[in-house]
Amino acid sequence: MIEKINLYGLAYDCPYLQRKDNYPLKEVNHLSFYEKVIWVEGLSKEKKHTILEHHKACSKNR
């Protein structure tokens, strides 16, 4: 459950105010929050894990 909450938050916006060019969620910036939730729900477990791991690595570099 926490994983989903984190993904929704990350889909909503970058916690560092600007997404880097290689960020996997950059492609959903134009969607409404509701559309982002639907998008997150449609992701595979592997893709969700990849996004969370990318965020962890990115956070360490900021």
pTM: 0.77
pLDDT in tens, 4-61: 788 888 888 777 777 777 778 878 889 999 999 999 999 999 999 998 888 888 888 7
Inter-residue contact 20 to 57 (CB < 8 Å):
no
The confidence score (pLDDT) of residue 37 equals 92
The confidence score (pLDDT) of residue 13 equals 79
For the CA atoms of 34, 36, 39, 44, the dihedral, rounded to the nearest 10 degrees, stands at -120
The confidence score (pLDDT) of residue 2 equals 66
The confidence score (pLDDT) of residue 21 equals 74
